[in-house]
Amino acid sequence: MYYDHPYHAPLDHALIIDFVKDASKPGERVAVELSRDSAIRLIDGIQSALSVGEEAHAI
Amino acid sequence: MAYEGLLAETVFHTGYDGDQVEAYMARPMGPGPFPGVVVIHHMPGWDAATKEITRRFAHFGYIAIDPNLYTREGPGEPDDVAAVARAAGGAPDARVMGDVGGAASHIRNVPYHNGKVGVIGFCSGGRQTYLAACTLDSFDAAVDCWGGRVIATPDQLTERQPVAPIDFTADLSCPLLGLFGDDDQSPSPDDVARMVEELKKHGKTYEFHTYEGAAHGFFAVDRPGYRPVQATEAWGEVFKWFGKHLAG
């Protein structure tokens, strides 16, 4: 995960998240490139989902 | 002079440790002789934008070669290969210098070359350009486009990038043009001022231009940071610089 120049998104900088199966194999990757605002919304969304899920399942 | 007819193709040249490195090469159609330019891509890799820049040099009468500095991390799509290189900490400086020097030698060996080779790089490639101009004797002129971390703090040095390029300034072996944006933070205006100080101290030939209202990467036509007026002016400086120092 890094914040730098994206490859595809038309942004100067983006948060890039690589989901990799094997980091040494270029084809085994799913990537997302997010603007800073989208990245922050994703963080908030994850925290909210975790919090709701923990409450629902009494974890 | 502009050339409407170009030849652009993938080639292989010898690089670091004798490895075969893939490269995108473009040249004007015609007998030449033409000057050469090595184009160093940025951190996102061997992408379409850098190849377009390579063709731009050919259009204006240069043999241009853009080595894929992530050849060893491939094969694969350039974005995936760049992700592997980035995860590993970027391309090691020693390997990059071997590849960039090899690309320059490849140009020097073609029969339509005029004997002069320049180097230009963008972002991390700007840093590598500074390093190449200081540590290789392959070049007759260099252009650093907003290279970050030419000046590095000790915690920014790694096994792969062990020395800050500015520490090699005494060895700079060709004229250096620097293009920067005054809204950039990598390098910041203070970093650029420190580079100037170092170049002056060692009596080097250099020319730096910092553009108002421009930040990092203002040549990139597909990003919001594109600044057409500043970019057009700065491209003019690139061709003036190479025109002056790479004439046969």
pLDDT per residue as tens digits for the range B150-209 = 999 999 999 999 999 999 999 999 999 999 999 999 999 999 999 999 999 999 999 999
**Chain A residues with beta carbon closer than 8 angstroms to that of B45:** 7
Give pLDDT tens digits for B210-224. Answer: 999 999 999 999 999
According to DSSP, the residues that pair with B139 across neighbouring strands are: none
Q: Own/partner pairs for A8-14, CB < 8 Å, 24+ apart?
A: A8/A33, A8/B79, A9/A33, A9/A34, A9/A35, A10/B222, A10/B223, A10/B224, A11/A35, A11/B223, A11/B224, A12/B215, A12/B216, A12/B217, A12/B220, A12/B223, A12/B224, A12/B225
Answer yes or no: is pLDDT of A58 > 90: no
- Asked if B99 has any chain A CB less than 8 Å from its own CB, the reply is no
B219: domain CATH number is 3.40.50.1820
Chain B interface, mutation test: which of A1, A2, A4, A5, most B Cβ atoms within 10 Å? Answer: A5
CA distance, residue A4 to nearest chain B CA (Å): 9
- CB contact under 8 Å between B86 and A5, yes or no, is no
Whether the complex's predicted ipTM is more than 0.85 is answered with no
Give the pLDDT of residue A59.
Answer: 77
Q: Is residue B1 part of a domain?
A: no
**What's the confidence (pLDDT) of residue A28?**
87
Q: B235 is in which domain, residue-wise?
A: 6-245
In this complex, which of A5, A20, A27 lies closest to B43 when CB atoms are compared? A5
CB contact under 8 A, B43 and A4: yes
- pLDDT score for A22: 82
Distance from CA of B80 to the nearest CA of A (A): 5
What's the whole-number average pLDDT of chain A?
Answer: 92
Q: Is residue B186 part of a domain?
A: yes
What percent of chain A is modeled with pLDDT above 90? 80
**What average pLDDT does range A34-50 have in this prediction?**
97
Residue of A nearest to B75 (CA): A26
Asked whether the predicted pLDDT for residue A23 surpasses 80, the reply is: no
**pLDDT at A24 exceeding the cut of 80:** no
Q: Provide, as residue numbers in chain A, all residues whose Cβ is less than 8 Å from the Cβ of B181.
A: none
Nearest Cβ partner of B222 from A4, A10, A25?
A10
Answer yes or no: is pLDDT of B148 > 90. yes
- pLDDT of residue B135 exceeding 90, the answer is yes
pLDDT digits (tens, 9 = 90+) for B65-75: 999 999 999 99
**Interchain pair A5, B217: CB under 8 A:** yes
Q: Which residues of B touch A2 (CB under 8 A)?
A: 86
Q: How much is the average pLDDT of A39-45?
A: 97
Cα B160 from Cα B152, distance rounded (Å): 13
Number of folded domains that form chain B: 1
Q: What is the pLDDT of residue A21?
A: 85
Whole-number pLDDT of residue B49: 96
- Tell me the pLDDT tens digit for each residue of B85-131: 998 999 999 999 999 999 999 999 999 999 999 999 999 999 999 99
Binned at pLDDT 50, 70 and 90, residue A27 comes out as: confident
Least confident of B12-26, B78-92, B124-138: B78-92
Q: For residue B1, what pLDDT is reported?
A: 82
Set of chain B residues whose Cβ sits within 8 Å of the Cβ of A6: 44
- Answer yes or no: is pLDDT of B6 > 80: yes
How do the domains of chain A map onto residue ranges?
2-56
Model confidence, pTM: 0.94
